[in-house]
Structure 1
Amino acid sequence: MLKEHAKLMSAFMASGEVIGRKKLQKMIFIAKKLAFPFQERFEFHFYGPYSEELTLRVEELCNMGFISEVKEKKGGYYQYRYSVTEEGEDFLKIYEKDMPFLEDCLTDMNGQSARFLELVSTVLYFDNLPKEEVAEKVFTLKSKQKYTNEEVDEAYAYIESLKKVIH
């Protein structure tokens, strides 16, 4: 059971601090699609791919004291900041982590906006479809985000750049 928690902890450790629940969801989904061994199941949701399992696992890690969750009021909404605690670092020392390049990948993703990661994860969610159909899905399902064709192209280019990091 704790093996999956350890994988998630490795992701937090590699990322440093993650700001935002949506961003965290997208980072783990993208990493999973890039073949990192995350087991959480994702479904398409309001903000793109979402995993209830991931939400629960993060909550468990917070309850165990391995992850720090800080809730901040930001304008009209709350934002969450996540980082590994000292206890979490000690916990991770016990587990063997075999995820080379995870840090490079997640550090890069953590530097991107949540909006862009939402686009990238949506593109990856429909990666079994031709690019034109994916773009159509993005424009339909994510119409409020007002993504452009250029941004969809950027998402594809970004995915390719991440694949180069891990291969």
Structure 2
Amino acid sequence: MLQEHAKIVDFISMAEGVTGRKKLQKMIFILKKMGLPFQEKYEFHIYGPYSEELTARIEELCDMGFLSEQLEDKGSYMQYKYTVTKEGMDFRNMLGETKVADQAQAAKLNEKSGRFLELTATLLFFDDLERAEQIEKLHIVKGKLNFTEEEIQQAFDFIDELQS
């Protein structure tokens, strides 16, 4: 059980912190779709794929002092920033090898915006469909976000890049 917690700590450490709850949800989902061993179950939610299990694990890790959760006031909204504490690194190291991503993968995901990761994760959520159907489904469930053809192509290119 704690191995799953350690994987999250490991990933946030690799990413050198993650700003945004939605962004963290999408990053873990994308890595899971790339075949990395995250066990959290996802369902489709307002902002795309969402895992209650991941939310619970993050809260537990913060309660245990393994993650630091800092609230940043962005004016019209609040944003959460997650970083690994010294105790979190000790915990992660005590449990042995848990590597779930490499530094380059983590950095690639972390440099993307929440909007882009929401688009990418949504396309991956429907990856059992043909590409045209994926795009059609995207426009149905995310119509208000007005994703352009260029953004959609960039997301597919990013998926291909992560898979290679």
TM-score (structure 1 length as normaliser): 0.95
Q: Is the 8 A contact 1:135 1:149 kept in 2?
A: no
Cα deviations across residues 78-118 of structure 1 (Å, max 9, x unaligned)? 10000000100111111222536432212110000000000
Q: What is the RMSD computed on CA atoms of the aligned residues?
A: 1.1
Identity of matched residues, %: 50
* C-alpha spacing 1:43/1:116, structure 2 compared with 1 (3 Å): same
How far did residue 77 of structure 1 move?
0.9
Q: Report the counterpart of residue 155 of structure 2 in structure 1.
A: 155
Deviates most, 42-51 or 67-76: 67-76
* C-alpha spacing 1:32/1:125, structure 2 compared with 1 (3 Å): same
Residue 127 of structure 1 pairs with residue 127 of structure 2: yes
Q: What code does the residue aligned with 1:48 have?
A: G
TM-score (structure 2 length as normaliser): 0.96
Q: Report the counterpart of residue 35 of structure 1 in structure 2.
A: 35
How do residues 10-29 of structure 1 correspond to structure 2 at under 5 angstroms?
10-29=10-29
How do residues 27-106 of structure 1 correspond to structure 2 at under 5 angstroms?
27-99=27-99, 101-106=101-106
Q: What code does the residue aligned with 2:145 have?
A: Q
How far did residue 63 of structure 1 move?
0.2
* C-alpha spacing 1:140/1:6, structure 2 compared with 1 (3 Å): same
Q: Report the counterpart of residue 107 of structure 1 in structure 2.
A: 107
Structure 2 distance, partners of 1:114, 1:40, is 20
Gapped runs of 5+ residues in structure 1? none
Structure 1 distance, partners of 2:98, 2:83, is 21
Q: Is the 8 A contact 1:12 1:83 kept in 2?
A: yes
Q: Secondary structure at the match of 1:79?
A: strand
Q: What code does the residue aligned with 2:27 have?
A: M
Q: Secondary structure at the match of 2:82?
A: strand
Structure 2 distance, partners of 1:136, 1:48, is 15
Structure 2 distance, partners of 1:39, 1:100, is 11
Q: What code does the residue aligned with 1:7 have?
A: K
Q: What code does the residue aligned with 1:153 have?
A: Q
Q: Secondary structure at the match of 1:89?
A: helix
Structure 1 distance, partners of 2:117, 2:12, is 17
Gapped runs of 5+ residues in structure 2? none
Q: Secondary structure at the match of 2:83?
A: strand
